[in-house]
Structure formats: structure tokens, C-alpha cells
Structure 1
């Protein structure tokens, strides 16, 4: 396989190698590409790699999340508008297609487009031209169009929600990104990579995944895919207290899914014997969170006043708050020093 710039995509699994093989073949062309896969599988990374390995790599790469822009603004966002085209069009605006001229436009979540806008996208693919909202003339562009979706567009076509002709225009070169559960060889590789990144960012020694933890992570199906794994490793880099990640450090959700017993987690005492309050404390006192926290605060205020012999400046210093803040809290609770 020809060497390509992977654009940060990490993996050695067979199914991912097939993706790289297709990327190497299609990148030098101008063919339209449709990238499919579940949410969180890294579709945008693949599209960026496609652009960076193409002859357009020195030109703009313009991503558009079709699902994140309100439908009534999407046409203007894509194609631009003329001054006065609608109520708030106080000046002419260049759309994303024009901004991408000479380069690549990435239409993410293309399945979210409504049918009238699908017609306009089809025209750009076929004719390489469009009209700004409110314009009387056409604008020509030279762009490569790459789209992505987590929907089954063939099913959407069958149900009349997606145009068949647009689907075939987009689906010239299909690239399917497999879910992480089908990339078992990549789970630990990615996990160690993310753990290294987050530990380095937090300036702590890089944590080690124990053998048992690696086995459990490989068993977990990762419904959120790579994005879920990345978020999990960030959480571990913050919460794990030892240098080795053990099964007890895993969240209950993962342990339950892989069939492990969830250990009873009790708050750990520090060297001074401090113990964090728990929900059982609230239940025992028959209090809600606000009343519980108010009582704790009141006790600390009284203790600070007693220790400072009623000198408010000293009491405020003991509590780490301003004197004016202390006075407000005392008034609120009708506490007289």
C-alpha cells in the first residue's frame, strides 16, 4: 500500500488497513466520497486525511455540520446571500462553497438536509455552480465534495427522506468506518495513546493499564466508539490515584456490561481522618442537599467565630472569604458573634 498521511488516525486492525488502502487510491482523484459510520468513529479525521493527501491539500478545507445549523439558515450558510435577500441580510455574505473554492468542502451529517436543499446540492455536484440566496446570477466553483453520515442513506431513500439521485452522486466512492467494537486490536492501542496525551497534559506520570483492565476494555462494546474511549481515558487520567489502572478504577457501567461485580466504593479517608459526606448521611438526617449544605456552612461559620473570639476579620481569614461575604452570611442566618 502506498504510504499516506494518516492525519492522526491510529490503528493497526485489518478493517482500518482496508480504509487506508481506499484512501491511498481515492485521495489523488477528484471523485466524490461518502464516508459512513457510527457516531464517534472518526469520520472527520478520515475526510481530513483525504484532503491532506490530495492535490488540493494546499487549498481550503471547509467543514460544514449540516445537523448543527438551523434549517432556515443552512442555505445561506452553504451558498451565501446578497444584501437585502431577507430581513437581517444587511450585507452580502460569502457561503461555504465559495470559501472552499479550489479545495474541499466536507458536508458532515448530510442525511440531515431537507429535500429542497438536497436539490441545490445536487446541482452543485452536477453543474459546479449555484446561486446565492437573493442573487439573479450563478456562481461557479471548483470544489471537491466529501460527505459523511451516521444514517443508512439507502434506507432514507427507500422512505422518501433522501433523494435517490443525490445518493448515487455522493456514493461514487463509499468509505465505511467500522465501529470500535469491530477493531478489537485498536482498543488498547488507542487507549494507551489517549492516556499518554492526557497524563502529559496534566503533568503526571503516564498511567499503566493493568493486564486485567486491558482485557475488560477489549470486552466492552464502546457504543460511543473512539470518542467514548477518549473521554474515558481523560477521566481516568484525573481520577486514578495510583500509577496502575486497576479494575476498581473502572466505572460501574463498564464493569456491569462485561459481567464483572461492581465493588462497593466507599469514600477514602485521608491521613487526618477526614471523610467525605455520602448520600447515606443525607438519608440519615432526612435532609435534601440544600439543607445539608446550609447546616455544614452554618457550623463552620460558628466555629470560625468561636476560634477568632468574634473578630470578624480573623474569622473571614480562617474561612478564606472576604469580611463583607462573612457579614452577609451571618445576617442571612441571624448569627450574632
Structure 2
């Protein structure tokens, strides 16, 4: 399934790594709230959260309170949810499709979300009714539907061919919807609109607030529960669909449910923050080096590692250039590409 060698680890070691990763996540969340264009002291962050969560009465500057609660906390929580969702989605697709280069955007979802976003913001489709996020979500779902139908027709309903065909269908769907996006921008967008939509397409967390948090957290939790429930089935899929069927796993039902779950997770996250690359590609391989290939330990480790990674990248996007926020997809690519190259080279050497 993967060209990278994976160390043998015990279950106890796996859970120890998961615990350490969880503690790192808590630290990353605090850092994400504290560090930015204007740094805020840790104790101020803790007091502000205590005021809101536990009705404490600490004296906090009103401006700091607003920045912490309404801007940085929401941004950090959505970044963590998005990182976890993309990382787990990449893990599931790599296991199901037995392809080490599979990532969440393999299903054409990112391209469809981009098309939906530009149709609303530039072409004016559904103006006054649909927001950018709603248009992106509809576009992502339509693209995923197109890819699935094309893959099923190409595979002739034979499950053994579906894994290969869904990759090819995803490539075709991505190219189609990327072309539609470029056509709409070239035909209808002015310079300011083109700049704004390109910033969103590269990943933008600046506009997320509590409504996005209330959507991101349930989506992530439901998706994780479904995937963890099928963790042992994913172990079997590492040996192929025929091997999974031979031990009594309902291959078609499990594949359909897992692909649908990962697609919906990706669609929701992309509709809120745009396309953020390399998270779903790099993090699963890094998690395998930490805890091995047993999915019951690998899934939570992958989710937490992805969350920490994207929160750190979000912090970087705010402080790399003083006075300017970079698209977070730029930061993930700058960090993710070298990391993936290192993992690739080390794996091949071993």
C-alpha cells in the first residue's frame, strides 16, 4: 500500500504517542490564541476563557477579550478541526485505495468547492441567497457526485476495479471543475475579485466565526466516530478488498460509507476555509512512523497530529510577514513539501 517502511510498535507505545500528541494539541491551541499580529499573554488568554466558559470575573481589556473570543479562538478551533479532518480523510483514502499518494482532494471535492465559490461570488449565482461557503459546499457535493457516478460506470460495478477507477475519475473531475473555475474568473472577475477569490482558494481562515465552529466540530466528531468504528475493517483493506471480503467484511457497504463520510468531512471543511494542501498527504505517513499501521491507534494520532500541524501553520501565516496574513495553504505547502520529501527519502533508504 505504501512505499514507506513503518516501524513495529506496541499498542502501549501507540497510546503513549496519542497522549503526548493530545497534550501538544492543547499547547498549540493556547499558542494559536496567544500569538498573532498582536501577542497576548498566556495568563490573559486563560483569564479570558475562564470569564466566558466559567463566568469568572477577571479584569480583562475589552479589546483583548473580543480578539481572543471572537477572532483567535474561533480561527484556532476551525484550523484544528480542518487539520484533523483532512489528515484522517487522507489516511482513510490511502488505506481504502491502497495508494500512498491519495489525499482528500483526490475525489474532486476541492475543485468543485472552488467552482461553487466563484459561481456565487463572481458569477452571481444565488446572490442574496447563497453565501460563499454555501456555494462551495454545493459545488463540492456536485463534484463528488460526478466523480462517484463516473467511477461506478467505469468500473462496471466490479468492486475490484473501483479503487483504480475512482482515482482516475477524481483526476478527470478535478480537471473539469478547475477549468470551469478558471473560465468564470477569466470571463467575469475584475482584478479585485480575482485577487480575493485566489486568496480564498489557497486557504483562508480569516472569515471563520462561531457559526463555522458549530458546524466544523460536529462534522469532525461524527466523521471520526464512523471511521474509528470501522478501524479494524481498514486494517483488512490494507491487504486488498478481496482479503477483506474473505474475512466477512461487507466490502461494498464499508467502502461506500467510508468514502461518503470522508467526502462530506472534506466538503464541509473546504467550503469554510478553501483548499489547504499537503495535510491529508503528509500527516498520515508521519503518523504511521509514530504508531504503526493499526488504525485504532493510528486514527486518533493522525487526527491530533493534523490538528496541531494546521494550528502551527495558521500561526505562521499570521507572523511570517508583519502586518500581512498569508493564505494558510502557502504555509502548509512550504512546510509539507520538504517534510514529504524527507519521509519519502528515508522510507526508500530503509
TM-score by length of 2: 0.21
Query: Relative to total residues, which structure has the larger strand share, 1 or 2?
Result: 1
Higher relative contact order (CA 8 A, sep 6+): 2
TM-score by length of 1: 0.21
Computing the radius of gyration from Cα coordinates, the structure with the larger value is 1
